[in-house]
Structure 1
Amino acid sequence: MTSPIQLARTYARSYEASSRKDKGTILDTVTEATGWTRDHARHQLRSQFNQIRAGVSLDAVVDRRRLKPKKFSPRAQLALELVWKSFGRPCGKYLEAGMSDCLDSLERHGHLCEGRHGYSSSVRRELLNISAATIDRYLRGAKAGDHDDSWLTGTGAGMRASFPRQRMRSLLEPEPGYFLVELLTIKTPTGEDCVTVTFTDVEIGWVQTKTFAPGTQVVDMLAQMVRGVPFVVTGVLLPPAVPDSAITTWAEANLIEIHCTSDLRQGPRVPDRTFSGLDLPLGTPHATDAAIIRVNGLWSALADRLNYFMPVKNPVGWRLTPSGVRRREYDKPRTPVSRLIASGILCPEQTRELHEKSRGLDIAGLTARIAELKSTLH
């Protein structure tokens, strides 16, 4: 089979000797056969002609990129794939930002040990120095052969991406505690409504999700969600149709501010991208309670992985590129738990508890638990 370079050499002499019109025809032929762009094909044809004129044989032409030594060792590349799978298969930019926390957890729980499977302190240094683009390049083959069902790898990520923080700064204190609330209603086999509630802290990205049994009042759902947050909730942003007198009374009694998305946005409300494609297999009526328990276990594991390991970044302003285009600027990616501790709103006992839980979490164990629970919900 003729390689692209061989094909370019075949047409090189005739290309140089042809008229402008005939050169265009040759370029069409080469680009169609090789998939190259016209600029690259033109460059290769001229390069091959110069090599022919210099007496360089085709066998002597070497692709320098393939002979260039790789910056990272094969052992580091193997360890990178293990870390990527343990982390829940994120993209390179998030894996790069969370690499240190992930390696600490894997080492602490015995998944990566010195001297086992080629892992060492030098491999760790390589992984900590690897860039996001290099991560994606090295994992290209692993991603192509990976058929893991990727629905709901994180919860709350859709709201993080879609919520316009800059439009509600007048309501926000520069500290955690203000939560965006999303409700997803699913019909059970008995025709009742089973509601899933997600709280997402707008400032630090802390996420908490829970599915409630049919018949649970919205005010009771909100009360349970607030009790489950490990810090003080100062306000909630609800969908327009949710607030009622019972919720207002409860919020006033707990010193919690209530706002609606319709108060802050023009047009459609915040997209429900977090739960897109989600279909809870609640089965028969008697299996509903068991399914809710399983899915709440999934929410808990996903939230732990997201809150303690997955970095997030917040918009901090705008900048102008050299060409005069406005680009959004972001702060340094950090995990929600690190942002929470750095905020200074926690007492020493709460900080100690969060540090202990963080050290006790096994990222590989969490990911295995998530995969197990997801398999039971299909």
Structure 2
Amino acid sequence: MTSPIQLARNYARSYEASSRKDKGTILDTVTEATGWTRDHARHQLRSQFHQIRAGVSLDAAVDRRRLKPKKFSPRAQRALELVWKSSGRPCGKYLEAAMSDCLDSLERHGHLREGRHGYSPSVRRELLDISAATIDRYLRGAKADDHDDSWLTGTGAGMRASLPRQRMRSLLEPEPGYFLVELLTITTPTGEDCVTVTFTDVEIGWVHTTTFAPGTQVVDMLAQMVRAAPFIVTGVLPPPAVPDSAITTWAEENLIEIHCTSDLRQGSRVPDRTFSGLDLPLGTPHDIDAAIARVNELWAALADRLNYFMPVKNPVGWRPTPSGVRRREYDQPRTPVSRLLASGILCPEQTREVREKSQGLDIAGLTARIAELKSTLH
């Protein structure tokens, strides 16, 4: 069977000597046979032509590519795959930012030990030095073989991205405490509606989700969500149809501002977050209570993984490109908990509690528990 490089070499001379139209035909043939993109195929054809002119044999060219030393050791690559799977399979950009926290958690709970599976301080240093692009490149094979559906790895991101930052800052204080509110109604086989409420902090990305039993009033849902937040809630941004007199009265009594998201959005509406694969096995009232308890346990595990281990980034401005197009600039990705601690809004007791919980969380255990709970809801 002809290798892709051999095929490129076979067509290299004719490609250079061909007309523009014939070059397009050769590119079609090479891309169809190799799976390369047209840009990569064009690069390989030209590269092989120059190597032929320079007298470089195909074996020498292939051997040089194959024998090129890798910057990171095979042990580091194996550990990288473990960290990636344990942290919920994030992309390289966010895994790079979360690498230190994930390694600390895996080491504290015995998933990575010195001398076990080749892990060592030198491997840790390699993982901390690895770039986002290299992470994605080394994990390409693992991602191709992985069939996890990456179910609900993020929450509220679409809502946060759809809100214009400058208009938000004109209305909201630039500190944690303002939460986007999202409501999702799930109709059970008995005809009753369970409502899932998601709170997402606008500034730091802190997430909290709870599913409520049928018949729960929206104002009671909001009150419970506010009590569950680990810091003071100063404002909520519910969907346009939610605010009513009862909610307005409750907000005034608790000194909580209400801003309707329709006042802040621009363009299309805030996209609805979908719970792909979620199927509540509800039949009798007893089933409803048990299923809601399992769902809320799942939300809690997901929220802990997102808030303590998954970085988020915030827009900080715009910069012009050489072509004159404005491009959004973002700050460095940081976890919601690190942004919360850096904000200075917590009292010493709250800070101690948050740090203790952060130290006690097992990222691999959370991911395993999430997978277990997911399997009961499909």
TM-score, structure 1 as length reference: 0.91
Q: Distance in 1 between matches of 2:17 and 2:233?
A: 76
Q: Distance in 1 between matches of 2:173 and 2:123?
A: 42
Q: Distance in 2 between matches of 1:181 and 1:198?
A: 6
Q: Distance in 1 between matches of 2:191 and 2:265?
A: 33
Identify if the C-alpha distance between structure 1 residues 343 and 28 changes in structure 2 by more than 3 Å, giving closer, same or farther. closer
Alignment check: 8 A CA contact 1:261 1:269 kept: no
User: Deviation at 1:220?
Assistant: 0.6
User: Deviation at 1:116?
Assistant: 1.0
Q: Deviations over 1:215-236 (max 9, x none)?
A: 1111111110000001111111
Alignment check: 8 A CA contact 1:157 1:274 kept: no
User: Deviation at 1:274?
Assistant: 5.2
Worse-superposed segment, 74-83 or 332-341? 332-341
Alignment check: 8 A CA contact 1:189 1:284 kept: no
Q: Let me know the Cα RMSD of the aligned residues.
A: 2.5
Query: What residue ranges of structure 1 are gaps of 5+ in the alignment?
Result: none
Identify if the C-alpha distance between structure 1 residues 78 and 232 changes in structure 2 by more than 3 Å, giving closer, same or farther. same
Identify if the C-alpha distance between structure 1 residues 12 and 175 changes in structure 2 by more than 3 Å, giving closer, same or farther. closer
Alignment check: 8 A CA contact 1:155 1:207 kept: yes
Q: Distance in 2 between matches of 1:333 and 1:211?
A: 29
User: Deviation at 1:240?
Assistant: 1.2
Identify if the C-alpha distance between structure 1 residues 189 and 137 changes in structure 2 by more than 3 Å, giving closer, same or farther. same
Worse-superposed segment, 280-289 or 360-369? 280-289
Task: Give the aligned partner of residue 156 of structure 1.
Answer: 156
User: Deviation at 1:267?
Assistant: 5.6
Q: Secondary structure at the match of 2:203?
A: coil
User: Deviation at 1:14?
Assistant: 5.6
User: Deviation at 1:330?
Assistant: 0.8
Q: Distance in 2 between matches of 1:359 and 1:235?
A: 29
Alignment check: 8 A CA contact 1:314 1:330 kept: yes
Alignment check: 8 A CA contact 2:162 2:265 kept: no
Q: Distance in 2 between matches of 1:38 and 1:157?
A: 34
Q: What is the percent sequence identity of the aligned residues?
A: 92
Q: Distance in 2 between matches of 1:13 and 1:334?
A: 51
User: Deviation at 1:6?
Assistant: 3.3
User: Deviation at 1:283?
Assistant: 3.9
Alignment check: 8 A CA contact 1:156 1:274 kept: no
Q: Distance in 2 between matches of 1:154 and 1:200?
A: 11
User: Deviation at 1:43?
Assistant: 5.9
User: Deviation at 1:262?
Assistant: 2.1
Worse-superposed segment, 314-323 or 81-90? 314-323
User: Deviation at 1:127?
Assistant: 0.3
Q: Deviations over 1:161-207 (max 9, x none)?
A: 33333332121111111111001011122212110001111011111
Task: Give the aligned partner of residue 208 of structure 1.
Answer: 208
TM-score, structure 2 as length reference: 0.91
User: Deviation at 1:282?
Assistant: 2.5
Alignment check: 8 A CA contact 2:239 2:262 kept: yes
Pairs aligned (count)? 378
Q: Deviations over 1:39-96 (max 9, x none)?
A: 6656655655665566554444435332210000000000000000110111110100
Alignment check: 8 A CA contact 2:163 2:266 kept: no
Task: Give the aligned partner of residue 83 of structure 2.
Answer: 83
Worse-superposed segment, 364-373 or 159-168? 159-168
Q: Secondary structure at the match of 2:364?
A: helix
Query: What residue ranges of structure 2 are gaps of 5+ in the alignment?
Result: none
Alignment check: 8 A CA contact 1:159 1:274 kept: no
Identify if the C-alpha distance between structure 1 residues 28 and 190 changes in structure 2 by more than 3 Å, giving closer, same or farther. closer
